[in-house]
Amino acid sequence: MIELSWSGLRVPAIAVELDCSQKTVRCWLHRFNRSGPQGLEDLGGQGRKRRITEEERSRIISLVKTVPPGRLRWEPVGELWAFDESGRTSRVDSGFPGRGGAGRGDRRGPLTGQAHPARRGRALASYPVLDPLEGPGLRPKRTRIIGLYTHPPDDATVICADELGPVIPRTFPPAPAWSPDGHRIKAELDYSRGPEKTWVYGGLRPADGQAVTMTASSRNSVFYQQFLQLVEDANPDGTIWIVTDNLSSHNSVSTRTWLEDHPRIHHAFIPVGACWLNLQEGWWRIFRKAALAGRSFANPDDIAYATTLATDQLNAHANPWIWGRPAPPTRPLRRRYVYTV
């Protein structure tokens, strides 16, 4: 490149002559002009320096392949070893197929030796309990909420609380259904009637399906405390557990100060991403169909009136909300044939 440049060729001609890019030619010419012949030598030390040596890297790889302390140790012959509370190792029968080799009932053949006496009656042995810690499959926060539904504390009332909104005065589309004449249901134009917003506070009592609602112009700690007062008045006896989400107005300093004067009320906040644990969400779907679907509201007063009327109608036909999926009913025989001999 230097000789071709001394002979008078330009950078594009040098790139064509040597079959390389023009950027490469300019780079080497600049290095020669800056440092002379020494600039054409290998500089060395390019790239990122290694932070560990090859020996240290080999040690790290060997540690990854070992079993951490406190976990199950697997032997090549299929024997299972575990650490007990005292730190000693004890042999446990590996009567299940998996990482340790063929277990009893595995297609690769059973293990040799005597089965563990505690698990002799089972086809597959269960994993041993190493410590009293909760496993990764358990969800203590969710289990606590479900326990309030299935086994509530003695002399306690469980209330599911939530806010619906903001509800703007407008025309709501009708609920999905078939029209009387069989044609497609046509909804009116959906337009708002001003910036006025309404929040609907609701609390469901799963024991009998009764609900308490309240409308407010905002969602803050003041209106939430007023709603809690309505819930307390509707349940004058025993302790009250409020199942709700951990909103700022539910756990604010003002709300916690208010709760100190009302020791009967306790909060059970649902974890993040588990809104299905709050049964009030299911009640809102029924409420929207009864109070909002297919109706036109001109102001917040109309929304408050519809909320009160729909709540009274739903409470008149309320049923207990039972947690869990019920068993499918037995299908009766459609026809019964009687043969006469």
Is the domain of 123 the same as that of 92? Answer: yes
As for how many domains the chain has, the answer is 3
Lowest mean pLDDT of 3-7, 131-135, 208-212, 308-312, name the range: 131-135
Same domain membership, residue 176 and residue 251: yes
Q: Where are the beta strands (DSSP E) in 136-188?
A: 156-167
Q: What is the C-alpha to C-alpha distance for residues 262 and 75, in angstroms, rounded to an integer?
A: 60
- pLDDT, residue 48, reads 75
Distance CA(180)–CA(174), nearest Å, equals 14
Write the CB contacts of 235 (distance below 8 Å, at least 6 apart in sequence): 157, 159, 205
Q: Give CA angle at 230 (291, 151), nearest 5°.
A: 90
State what percent of residues in the chain have pLDDT above 70: 68
Q: Band of the pLDDT at 75, cuts 50, 70, 90?
A: very low
Question: In angstroms, rounded to a whole number, what is the distance separating the alpha carbons of residues 326 and 329?
Answer: 9
Residue 97 confidence class, pLDDT cut points 50, 70, 90: very low
Q: Is the pTM of this model over 0.85?
A: no
Residue 84 lies inside a defined structural domain of this protein: yes
Give the pLDDT score at 337.
64
Domain that holds residue 98: 68-131
CATH assignment at residue 169:
3.30.420.10
- pLDDT tens, position by position, 143-167: 888 888 888 888 899 999 999 988 8
For the stretch 230-257, pLDDT in tens is 999 999 889 999 999 988 899 889 999 9
- State pLDDT tens for residues 12-54: 999 998 989 999 999 989 888 888 888 888 776 666 777 888 8
